[in-house]
A and B are shown apart, each in its own frame.
Chain A
Amino acid sequence: MAVLQATIGLEIHVQLTTRSKLFSTAANHPDAPNRNAAYVDQGLPGTLPVLNQEAVRLAVRLGLALGARVCRRSEFARKNYFYPDLPKGYQISQYDHPVLQGGALCIRDVQGQALQVTLERTHLEEDAGKSVHHQAYSAIDLNRAGTPLLEIVTEPCLHHAADAAACMRKLHALVRYLEVSTANMEQGELRCDANISVAAPGATRLGARTEIKNLNSFRFVERAIEYEFHRHTEILEAGGTVTRETRLYDSGQQQTRPMRSKETEADYRYFPDPDLPPLILSAEYIAAIQSTMPELPDARCSRYLEQYGLTPGEAETLVADRPLAEYFEAAAAVGDARTCAHWITGALTALLKRHTATLDECRIAPGKLGALVALIRRGVISGKVARQVLETMWDSGADAETIIAREGLTQLSDVQELETLVAQVLQECPEQVEQYRQGRTQVLAFLMGRIMQRSRGQANPARTSALLKQQLSA
């Protein structure tokens, strides 16, 4: 049998960061059970949905960023089914006429090549509540009921689990960048269902499809699809047939298993919701949102390569986090851009992590980091000293120059002083000098270490190294 290939499509749910629910005035955030459930969310008789315009704005914003067609007329529909945490007995969604059509996400595939993940459609819908099962009873929390979601449906155009995960990563970065969603995956604010089928490449008919529900981490997306691909492949290679079904990923066991199977295929009896007029978006409305669009991540990334000469890795890291990119640009206005990028993605990020702080809470202003970088570039301090200075900047809030002056950390670059220092150390270590002369050049590192120790890290490393070699070979 030929090598088999997976065909993967994703249905991605993005929770929109609005103040209130999609159809009610209740707050759109978690709280004590049922505290954020308005009468509309409870499905009380006589209550009617009223569309949250902010959710529409966010949908259009994401649509423009994805290059989707923003539909001038879309429609809400009822998806009817019974479930205890579905208060109205139907979910308000969009069916025949979604708010966005088409669009694409550009990712880097497993081979590192650019890959366009084309999108079929994106629609607005409300989330259901949450059932909490106890031994003797189940409890229902309707805080999540009515939470605004965007469901993005990709074309079945992916073939590798890693590409599916890359697609999720890219979208995660984009929705955060656009402030459409906080996309906290552990909270389920970004999650996806993966549809997968397996067949020989180029086969005219795809294999039977299975759907893996509710994947809420990049790793789970990749592992679940990988597992499912192997499961299909084994069945097919053994001459069996794959059953079309919905499965759950068990992250503990790292495998998928069938969900409780329903006796019959669900019939949701969709029809247009008579409580909501069609959603009409004027060209002016769409243009007004277009005019507020920030520079998009891909464009920003290219600009970083060209304008600042950053490496693709650094550029992507910075752009993935819009505040970080903005921080970088502010720092790069003061210090050398490439060194700033290096320090921001390295030392500063590490520092934030260590203090479990977000960039908002960063105690070093970007201009001050730029100034620190400028001091390194001018050779006033070494990189090593700069790390200490950075720590002190965090702790004291002072700027680099003040700290360096106060603590006398200026880099030692004076040749005479350095020569004395090197001579002293060589005198203290006759053994190592002897070893060096016998050809064991590794001791150089040891000697450099001693010199740095003596200089409290202030010795200019390049000059010291040159002087050291010079004296040893004298």
Chain B
Amino acid sequence: MIGSGTLAELSAALQHGETSSRALTEHCLARCRQLNPVYNCLISMDETAAYAQAERADRLLQVGQAGPLTGLPILHKDIFCSGRTTCGSRMLEHFVAPYEATVVRLLTAAGMVTLGKTNMDEFAMGSSTETSYFGPALNPWNSGCVPGGSSGGSAAAVACRMAPVATGSDTGGSIRQPAALCGVTGIKPTYGRISRHGMIAFASSLDQAGILSLDARDAALLLNALCGGDPQDSTALDRTAEDFGARLEAPLAGLRIGVPAEYGMDEPMAALMEDALQVFVEQGARRVDICLPQTALALAAYQVISSAECSSNLARFDGVRYGHRCNNPADIDSLYRRSRSEGFGRETRRRIMLGTFVLSAGYHDAFYVRAQKVRARILQDYTVAFAAADLILTPVTPGPAFALGTRLDDPVAMYLSDIYTVPVNLAGLPAIAAPAGFMNGLPIGLQLIGPHFSEALLLNAVHRYQLATDWHRQMPPEPD
């Protein structure tokens, strides 16, 4: 059970004294040591710190002062500041954060044991984890394929049970897409639900922390610990605390599931989505047809807005105060130019250039301002759709994981694979990805999108789906 247990199961085992946090930690760390050389899911591991946290958790468990997360192991995406934090970049290869991200702090305070930090696309820019300075992470279902990205390390690590759960961040699909491609559950909450403090910014108005887990129940457990306002993040929303697990079992009778007319799919994806819809219908939900007419514009608007914000967010990496600095710069301009050229990879440089361009005088209105208008219309689309539907069902990706290296030189093809996930970020909505079948032996995922703050309903729907299916219980083969 230890090897494949969900958080909920492991938590019960800990509370009943069937296992200890130290044993769990030992097991997970062994698995990390064994599998990381194969899948390259991790950038850092700190075993000493993990054991110290586990021992503290065991003491709490012994005296009956443990909470639901006490003693449970977790991996954090290397975008969250805590100890060595690289963001998948040479720029921060040796950066040690002097403070902890709110996400890490909250989960540590809840008693979780941090095993290490997961691999990711550089500064979260990518859909394959191939832009990581530390090399690509691989898909445990097929090590010739990408795990998706940018939270590819987290998704792959949970899929091959290095840890029962991992944190991620999602700017245009960076949690949901790798979750789908690795066959795990991934939730991106409403924008502002979880503090961004200490999560290294890619595109601030789109970035959202979230969870990659084995099922919806586990995601609910973590959201309970993570959601809420933060005096260190003005965009984190301070709402009354919610128990995301309370409604998990509620029946889906009468739930209206919207299917967008614009999302035409090829076989076999269309059939897989039809099957998924059928599961919900059997639970009492009904299908409604909806329209999201601005979908076609979403990718362009996303590229403009995310690049614009990234060009500004990444300006602080200038080689002056921390991070990579070139050797023997001739003057301040050469310090900037060389440090940034050496420290950032190709994709990151491409987006900085693009973002600088779309914000520059003469182009600002044609690109940035227009993209913001598209963004407002996309939100409007969803508002209309949610009058007719409670949730919207789409695939997460057009297809399963693609082979390593096949899209790295074709950025547009890479961007296009985000078509189902990107509009959600533009509208700041919550969405969840869950395993929904296989294509060519590789997992694919369904996506449910809900109105702002509908996480409890999303988790409820996916939990009911997972009670009726076992896609999420499938495990990738052990490596040779």
A45 touches B321 (CB 8 A): no
Stretch from A77-85, A242-250, A345-353 that touches the partner: A77-85
B235 touches A277 (CB 8 A): yes
- Chain B 221-236 residues near chain A, CB threshold 8 A: 231-235
A48 touches B232 (CB 8 A): yes
Enumerate chain B residues within 8 angstroms of A89, measured Cβ to Cβ: 312, 314-316, 318
Stretch from A36-44, A101-109, A216-224, A435-443 that touches the partner: A36-44
A46 in contact with B81 given A87-B321, A271-B368 (CB within 8 Å): yes
B231 touches A50 (CB 8 A): yes
Interface: B199 (CB within 8 A)? yes
Interface: A398 (CB within 8 A)? no
How far is it, in angstroms, between the C-alpha of A89 and the C-alpha of B315 when the chains are bound?
5
A46 touches B205 (CB 8 A): no
Contact of B322 among A44, A82, A270, A277 (CB under 8 A): A44
Interface: B95 (CB within 8 A)? yes
B312 touches A269 (CB 8 A): yes
Enumerate chain B residues within 8 angstroms of A277, measured Cβ to Cβ: 234-235
Stretch from B97-105, B135-143, B173-181, B254-262 that touches the partner: B97-105
B332 touches A46 (CB 8 A): no
Q: How far is the CB of A44 from chain B (nearest CB, A)?
A: 7
Enumerate chain B residues within 8 angstroms of A51, measured Cβ to Cβ: 234
Enumerate chain B residues within 8 angstroms of A90, measured Cβ to Cβ: 312, 315
Contact of A46 among B201, B203, B360 (CB under 8 A): B201
Binary interface encoding of chain A residues 322-336 relative to chain B, with 1 for a CB under 8 A from any of its CBs, else 0: 000000000000000
B336 touches A45 (CB 8 A): no
Binary interface encoding of chain B residues 217-249 relative to chain A, with 1 for a CB under 8 A from any of its CBs, else 0: 000000000000001111100000000000000
Enumerate chain B residues within 8 angstroms of A49, measured Cβ to Cβ: 234
Binary interface encoding of chain A residues 88-125 relative to chain B, with 1 for a CB under 8 A from any of its CBs, else 0: 11100000000000000000000000000000000000
Q: How far is the CB of B317 from chain A (nearest CB, A)?
A: 8
Q: Among B85, B197, B231, which residue has the most Cβ atoms of chain A within 10 A?
A: B197
Interface: B309 (CB within 8 A)? yes
How far is it, in angstroms, between the C-alpha of A84 and the C-alpha of B204 when the chains are bound?
23
Interface: B356 (CB within 8 A)? yes
B316 touches A274 (CB 8 A): no
- Chain B 294-338 residues near chain A, CB threshold 8 A: 308-309, 311-312, 314-318, 320-322, 332, 336
Interface: B87 (CB within 8 A)? yes
- Chain A 52-91 residues near chain B, CB threshold 8 A: 78, 80, 82, 84, 87-90
Enumerate chain A residues within 8 angstroms of B315, measured Cβ to Cβ: 80, 82, 88-90
Enumerate chain A residues within 8 angstroms of B235, measured Cβ to Cβ: 48, 274-277
Interface: A267 (CB within 8 A)? yes
Interface: B444 (CB within 8 A)? no
Interface: A140 (CB within 8 A)? yes
Interface: A47 (CB within 8 A)? yes
How far is it, in angstroms, between the C-alpha of A393 and the C-alpha of B356 when the chains are bound?
68
A45 touches B312 (CB 8 A): no
Residue ID in chain A nearest B85 by CB atoms: A45
Interface: B92 (CB within 8 A)? yes
Q: How far is the CB of B309 from chain A (nearest CB, A)?
A: 6
Enumerate chain A residues within 8 angstroms of B361, measured Cβ to Cβ: 267, 269
A48 in contact with B196 given A80-B315, A87-B321, A90-B312 (CB within 8 Å): yes
Contact of A82 among B197, B336, B360 (CB under 8 A): B336
A48 touches B312 (CB 8 A): no
Contact of B97 among A43, A44, A271, A274 (CB under 8 A): A44
Residue ID in chain B nearest A90 by CB atoms: B312
Interface: B145 (CB within 8 A)? no
Interface: B359 (CB within 8 A)? yes
B360 touches A267 (CB 8 A): yes
How far is it, in angstroms, between the C-alpha of A39 and the C-alpha of B359 when the chains are bound?
27
How far is it, in angstroms, between the C-alpha of A109 and the C-alpha of B204 when the chains are bound?
49
How far is it, in angstroms, between the C-alpha of A270 and the C-alpha of B369 when the chains are bound?
11
B320 touches A84 (CB 8 A): yes
Enumerate chain A residues within 8 angstroms of B314, measured Cβ to Cβ: 89
Residue ID in chain B nearest A140 by CB atoms: B320
Enumerate chain B residues within 8 angstroms of A276, measured Cβ to Cβ: 234-235
Contact of B197 among A48, A271, A274 (CB under 8 A): A48
How far is it, in angstroms, between the C-alpha of A89 and the C-alpha of B87 when the chains are bound?
19
Interface: B35 (CB within 8 A)? no
How far is it, in angstroms, between the C-alpha of A269 and the C-alpha of B368 when the chains are bound?
10
Interface: B200 (CB within 8 A)? yes
How far is it, in angstroms, between the C-alpha of A154 and the C-alpha of B306 when the chains are bound?
36
How far is it, in angstroms, between the C-alpha of A87 and the C-alpha of B319 when the chains are bound?
11
Enumerate chain A residues within 8 angstroms of B204, measured Cβ to Cβ: 274-275
Interface: B364 (CB within 8 A)? yes
Q: How far is the CB of A231 from chain B (nearest CB, A)?
A: 30
Enumerate chain A residues within 8 angstroms of B360, measured Cβ to Cβ: 267, 269
Enumerate chain B residues within 8 angstroms of A43, measured Cβ to Cβ: 316, 321
A45 in contact with B232 given A90-B312, A269-B312 (CB within 8 Å): no
A271 touches B95 (CB 8 A): no
Enumerate chain A residues within 8 angstroms of B87, measured Cβ to Cβ: 45
Residue ID in chain A nearest B336 by CB atoms: A82
A45 in contact with B205 given A39-B98, A90-B315, A271-B312 (CB within 8 Å): no
Q: How far is the CB of B448 from chain A (nearest CB, A)?
A: 26
Interface: B172 (CB within 8 A)? no
Q: What are 11 A-B contacts defined by CB distance under 8 Å?
A: A44-B99, A46-B101, A47-B198, A50-B232, A50-B234, A51-B234, A89-B315, A140-B321, A269-B311, A271-B309, A275-B204
Leading 6 A-B pairs by shortest Cβ distance? A89-B315, A274-B205, A269-B359, A274-B204, A46-B198, A43-B316
Apart from A39-B98, A50-B231, A269-B311, what are 11 other A-B pairs with CB-CB below 8 Å? A46-B80, A48-B233, A49-B234, A50-B234, A82-B336, A90-B312, A269-B312, A269-B361, A269-B364, A270-B359, A275-B204
Identify the B interface with A (CB < 8 A).
80-81, 85, 87, 92, 95, 97-99, 101, 196-201, 203-205, 231-235, 308-309, 311-312, 314-318, 320-322, 332, 336, 356, 359-361, 364, 368
